[in-house]
Chains A and B, each alone.
Chain A
Amino acid sequence: DVKVTQSSRYLVKRTGEKVFLECVQDMDHENMFWYRQDPGLGLRLIYFSYDVKMKEKGDIPEGYSVSREKKERFSLILESASTNQTSMYLCAIKGFTSGSWGETQYFGPGTRLLVL
């Protein structure tokens, strides 16, 4: 089974704090993604990475940065957290379905971040 883990399920931070969200996968996959999910807005792509030290901006990168120093780990960084970054953050990896070997994405359990 594909395993995507996120370092925290719930986080409470204060405005202005630097926040690190970690995502770890055990399948040696190249592509990893960070999304945020908000009611009424669906899943929005923040950043993705297709290899170590490689990153690409998604649809809403402002206020975020990422780090991919090792293949298995993809970190999302909020340099100075703000209340409008309160959200559910989901990490995903590109994978392949068994049998058909078609492409898909597998998600972690999510981190619910509250910025006060």
Chain B
Amino acid sequence: GQQLNQSPQSMFIQEGEDVSMNCTSSSIFNTWLWYKQDPGEGPVLLIALYKAGELTSNGRLTAQFGITRKDSFLNISASIPSDVGIYFCAGLPPGETSGSRLTFGEGTQLTVNP
């Protein structure tokens, strides 16, 4: 299946810094989802976006659904050590209603140095 282009692949930052990552696609999506995965665990939903242009926050996290419907970004402000993990974007293409098959990015590995 199609993969989303997620960047960067990895980030090494100092505690307190802000982080930005994004996902792009050549085709449009109706839904963008952002997940975080801790080592050895399953992905946990952070933010869900359902409308083009939508900007949604969850604590220190902010995500936006691109106006073209082909991209999304996730920002983390004032990073802390527990932000370490892999962040995934996922998109639901138009027409995927019965099976609800998501398309996933390959993930951004975030390392936060105390």
Contacts and interface: CB of A to CB of B under 8 A. Distances in A.
A110 B33 contact: no
The range of chain B's interface size is 20 to 34
A105 B102 contact: yes
Nearest to B43: A107
B42 A109 contact: yes
Interface of A: 4, 9, 31, 40-45, 48, 50, 56, 58-59, 90, 94, 97, 100, 102-110, 112
Interface of A is mostly: strand
Contact of B50 (A9, A44, A100, A106): A100
Interface of B: 1, 3, 31, 33, 35, 40-45, 48, 50, 88, 90, 92, 98-102, 104-107
A102 B50 contact: yes
Nearest to B49: A102
Contact of A50 (B45, B92, B98, B104): B98
B1 A59 contact: yes
A110 B37 CA distance: 11
A40 B41 contact: no
Interface of B is mostly: loop
Most buried by A among B3, B41, B90, B105: B41
Contacts of B40: 9, 110, 112
Contacts of B106: 40-42
A77 B92 CA distance: 27
A90 B42 CA distance: 7
B57 to A, nearest CB: 13
A48 B92 contact: no
Given A48-B101, A104-B33, A106-B45, 13 more contacts: A9-B40, A31-B99, A42-B3, A44-B1, A45-B101, A58-B1, A59-B1, A97-B45, A102-B50, A103-B100, A105-B45, A110-B40, A110-B41
Contacts of B48: 97, 100, 102, 104
A42 B107 contact: yes
Contacts of A109: 41-42
Contacts of B90: 105
Contacts of A9: 40
